[in-house]
Amino acid sequence: MLIALAGVMGLMGTLQSAQSPETGGSLARVEAAAEPWAGNIRVGGKAEADLDVLEGPDGPLYRAGKVATDTKLPLGYPAPTPPGAIEIKQYESVRRAEFSSSGGMGWGGGKGFWPLFRHIQRKDIAMTAPVETEYADTNNDRKLDRWTMAFLYHSTSDGPTGTDGAVEIVDTAPITVVSLGLRGGSAIKSPEKAAKLLEEWLAEHATEWKRQGDLRVLGYNGPNVRAANRWWEVQIPIERVSAPAAPASESVDSEHKE
């Protein structure tokens, strides 16, 4: 099923090429960037390269060594996590089109991709990156049978919430995640391995953070990018562990005072 997500990114890249022929142009380094990734907190791992922000035709694009984005991200969306790095990231609400199902995702992930593609085609909505896919992990079920694939709106002005056939358009709740950046097609064939690294990090920080949601996989590139240099993230939603309540002060009855 997870291999199918790489196929989804292939379909995505075909769509990107059709919608944004200008993205193949040169990019200029933004020297006075407002650090759009300032909210990402590095907490572990070893990044392959530093993160750079680039000026694209439709907003900022990102590069970290051999990986780069070539499609605009939603407004206010956090920058990708560099491959090899582990970060804590805060996602504000984003409007997205979702398709949910269970079992196999079909050839190339088409079971989820095509309903979403037809939706944005009908509504004349431009493609963004990444494609988000969430996999159920109820009671640590490693079959990851239930899944939701989502295309993200660039902004809420792209269209209203509601339903469009089997596609649901929703505003997501803000979430905090711990994320591992990955590079290459082989890296995403076994996202459970990446998830295990994140779970180990959570175990080491169990007094601070706990898991609070399904496994997420984010894919940023299509077939116009070599498989070895495609940018991915595997994420686990988390939340702060509540501090233990302070012990109640012992009241001493005045008649027992000595």
pLDDT in tens, 151-185: 999 999 999 999 999 999 999 999 999 999 999 97
In a domain, residue 172? The reply is yes
pLDDT grade for 12, boundaries at 50, 70 and 90 = low
Q: What is the pLDDT of residue 30?
A: 34
Residue 110: CB partners within 8 Å, gap ≥ 6? Answer: 7, 8, 11
In a domain, residue 257? The reply is no
Q: Over the stretch 229-245, which tens digit does the pLDDT of each residue have?
A: 999 999 999 999 987 66
- Tokens 């933004």 belong to residue: 30
**Residue 257, class by beta-carbon neighbours within 10 Å (0-12 exposed, 13-18 middle, 19+ buried)?**
exposed
Residue 79: CB partners within 8 Å, gap ≥ 6? Answer: 36, 37, 40, 51, 53, 60, 62, 73
In a domain, residue 255? The reply is no
In a domain, residue 245? The reply is no
In a domain, residue 217? The reply is yes
**Number of residues written out for the chain:** 258
- Left, alpha or beta for 114 (phi > 0: left; psi -120 to 50: alpha)? alpha
CA angle 159, 115, 17 (to 5 degrees): 80
In a domain, residue 110? The reply is yes
Domain hosting 146: range is 2-18+31-240
pLDDT of residue 36 exceeding 60, the answer is no
Backbone angles phi, psi at 206, to 5 degrees: -65, -20
**Residue 218, class by beta-carbon neighbours within 10 Å (0-12 exposed, 13-18 middle, 19+ buried)?**
buried
Q: What is the pLDDT of residue 18?
A: 41
Residue 243: CB partners within 8 Å, gap ≥ 6? Answer: none
Mean pLDDT for the chain overall: 82
Q: 15-31 b/e with 16+ CB inside 10 Å = b?
A: bbbeebeebeeebeeee
CA-based nearest residue to 132, from 225, 11, 223, 9: 9
Residue 184: CB partners within 8 Å, gap ≥ 6? Answer: 227, 228, 229, 230
Q: What is the pLDDT of residue 106?
A: 61
User: What percentage of residues in the chain have a pLDDT greater than 70?
Assistant: 74
In a domain, residue 249? The reply is no
In a domain, residue 24? The reply is no
**In the chain, how many domains are there?**
1
CB 151 within 8 A of CB 172: no
**Residue 44, class by beta-carbon neighbours within 10 Å (0-12 exposed, 13-18 middle, 19+ buried)?**
middle
Average pLDDT over residues 92-105: 91
At 91, which CATH number?
A: 3.20.80.10
Backbone angles phi, psi at 160, to 5 degrees: -80, 165
Q: Over the stretch 113-135, which tens digit does the pLDDT of each residue have?
A: 899 999 999 999 999 999 999 98
